[in-house]
Amino acid sequence: MPLHATRRFSLRAATRNALCGCVLSLLATTSLAVPVALTDVRIIDGTGTAPVENGVLVIDDGRIIAVGAAGSVTIPANAVRQSLAGKTLTPGFINTHGHAGAVRGLEAGHYSRDNLIRQLDLYARYGVTTVISLGDDEAEGFALRDEQNTASLDRARLYVAGPVLSAQTPEAARALVDRTAGMSPNFIKIRVDDNLGRTAKMSPDVYQAISERADHHNIPLAVHTYYLQDTKDLIRAGADFIAHSVRDVHVDDEFIALMRDRNLCYSPTLTRELSTYIYESEPAFFSDPFFLREADTGVLDTLREPGRQQRLRGNSAAQQYKASLPVAMANVKILADAGVQIAMGTDSGPPARFQGYFEHLEMWMMQDAGLAPMQILHAATGGAAACMGLSDTGTLEPGKWADLLIMSENPLQDIRHTRTLEQVWIAGKQVYPAP
Ligand SMILES: [Zn+2]
């Protein structure tokens, strides 16, 4: 179900630059490239269909050229064969709502090319091979977006929104959209929220103007919302992507109808809610080896400080968000049951929202909310790609980039098996563990 029936995904700059990237990568690799065949493996292809139990996947020059049951796929004579007996292959995960580039440790203000690459490497090591950064993106992020369409890529793919737009009047809003559109963002991002009654909310005439102007530039509009009524109003105003859960009340039939009529996707960001209060005491995941693999001990020490934990226990906003989480979890189940496309997203990237690990935690929480492993995997792969308008990642199908994960245990039995991630491949080569 493509999200943008009327508003095409804007990848003009990315495509333009991809052409030069492809030529360069062909020059660099054609003479040496040998096809690779992954054999004897369970393949979950990300389309939502049943797995192939004894599958073969063939990669050439960074892309998948054939995939299917053993016997139905012709393996090129010169291919290097790698048996993955007993293991499971899935597409790389897509985080439809992250933020990249600004934070080091627990501190913002470090936006740079080096910090972006460091974070995109981290996402990749956790199998998150594509990240849609929904706001606070600067020139270095746009440059990385424009450089990534090449078989030599070895970090997570990045798509960007530019600044989160905010304006006082419709006139100012339109000018802001025009200026942002000049950067060729993949999304326009706005926040319509009063932060639990603590700040002023963007007014409907302003977001209506932003939506119309984004439409004029053919750029989809992603919206941060909290309240059910605002989210309905935003959908009627033309919002294209719901970037957080509705968290004040349970969603109703009117909301479901609005989402379904417009084929809109919904990004739950359950871990965003979790992150607001979970450090009031030591979280269970602080002893998870899969988390500790990449954790910064200085950051953990800070989050463990008793005074800091005490302040969070007394923080009314944190406690209100804590109460919102069960509402958010109930809503994602209601919407998934109603056939609304869920798009895995975390809002990771801000301090103490751990990139890479939080995407796994998000999927585990989706299972706790009642979603089936296949629904969750689809929401994190092919479903997410369709929601984001990404045509060459998200599924294991011929022509797509070979961004894929190898797990030792089958995640369809329990989504927590994503923690058995053994290898991550991007554009047809292993990036984790570092070869
Ligand atoms: Zn966000």
147-184 pLDDT, tens digit each:
999 999 999 999 999 999 999 999 999 999 999 999 99
138, pLDDT greater than 80 = yes
CA 329 to mean position of chain CA atoms: 18
CA distance 428 to 58: 9
Residue 37 lies in a domain: no
- Residues listed for the chain: 435
pTM for the full predicted model: 0.93
Calculate mean pLDDT across residues 2-10.
40
CA distance 130 to 124: 8
Q: Which two tokens stand for residue 131?
A: 């990240």
CA distance 358 to 48: 23
Q: What is the pLDDT of residue 79?
A: 97
330, pLDDT greater than 60 = yes
Calculate mean pLDDT across residues 127-143.
98
CA of 84 to the centre of ligand 1 (A): 37
301, pLDDT greater than 80 = yes
Residue 225 lies in a domain: yes
| End-to-end CA gap in the chain | 37
266, pLDDT greater than 80 = yes
Q: What is the pLDDT of residue 13?
A: 38
11, pLDDT greater than 60 = no
Residue 352 lies in a domain: yes
Nearest Cα neighbor of 4 from 213, 241, 178 is: 241
Pairing of strands 404-407, 421-426: antiparallel
Query: What is the DSSP-derived secondary structure letter of residue 309?
Result: H
CA of 134 to the centre of ligand 1 (A): 6
CA of 131 to the centre of ligand 1 (A): 12
For 359, the domain range is 12-20+93-392
Determine the residue type at 429: K
Q: Give all strands (DSSP E) within 277-369, no chain letters.
A: 341-342
Question: What is the average pLDDT score of the chain?
Answer: 93
pLDDT tens digits, residue range 355-381? 999 999 999 999 999 999 999 999 999
**At 253, phi and psi to the nearest 5?**
-65, -35
Q: Which two tokens stand for residue 236?
A: 């009627």
Q: Is 143 exposed, middle or buried, given 0-12, 13-18 or 19+ CB atoms closer than 10 A?
A: middle
9, pLDDT greater than 80 = no
CA of 192 to the centre of ligand 1 (A): 12
Q: What is the pLDDT of residue 27?
A: 43
Band of pLDDT at residue 8, cut at 50, 70 and 90 = very low
Task: State how many domains the chain has.
Answer: 1
344, pLDDT greater than 90 = yes
Q: What is the pLDDT of residue 32?
A: 60
CA of 86 to the centre of ligand 1 (A): 38
Q: What is the pLDDT of residue 3?
A: 41
CA distance 62 to 85: 22
CA of 133 to the centre of ligand 1 (A): 8
Band of pLDDT at residue 215, cut at 50, 70 and 90 = very high
Determine the residue type at 419: R
Q: What is the pLDDT of residue 33?
A: 78
CA of 189 to the centre of ligand 1 (A): 9
CA distance 37 to 213: 47
Residue 76 lies in a domain: no
CA of 99 to the centre of ligand 1 (A): 6
Calculate mean pLDDT across residues 237-257.
98
CA of 206 to the centre of ligand 1 (A): 20
Task: Report the CATH number at residue 334.
Answer: 3.20.20.140
The pLDDT > 70 percentage for the chain reads 93
CA of 140 to the centre of ligand 1 (A): 19
Q: Which two tokens stand for residue 112?
A: 């740079």
Calculate mean pLDDT across residues 94-123.
98
Query: What is the DSSP-derived secondary structure letter of residue 350?
Result: S
The pLDDT > 90 percentage for the chain reads 92
Q: What is the pLDDT of residue 7?
A: 43
CA of 308 to the centre of ligand 1 (A): 23
CA of 52 to the centre of ligand 1 (A): 36
pLDDT tens digits, residue range 24-57? 444 444 446 799 999 999 999 999 999 999 999 9
Residue 85 lies in a domain: no
CA distance 332 to 130: 22
Residue 403 lies in a domain: no
205, pLDDT greater than 80 = yes
Residue 194 lies in a domain: yes
Q: What is the pLDDT of residue 362?
A: 99
CA distance 221 to 226: 16
CA of 406 to the centre of ligand 1 (A): 29
Calculate mean pLDDT across residues 403-414.
98
Calculate mean pLDDT across residues 181-196.
97
Q: What is the pLDDT of residue 25?
A: 46
The CA dihedral of 416, 417, 418, 419, to the nearest 10 degrees, is: 90
User: Residue 220, preceding bond cis, omega within 30 degrees?
Assistant: no
CA distance 276 to 63: 40
Q: What is the pLDDT of residue 256?
A: 98
CA of 191 to the centre of ligand 1 (A): 9
Query: Which SS3 state, helix, strand or coil, does residue 414 take?
Result: coil
Residue 29 lies in a domain: no
Q: Which two tokens stand for residue 107?
A: 């501190």
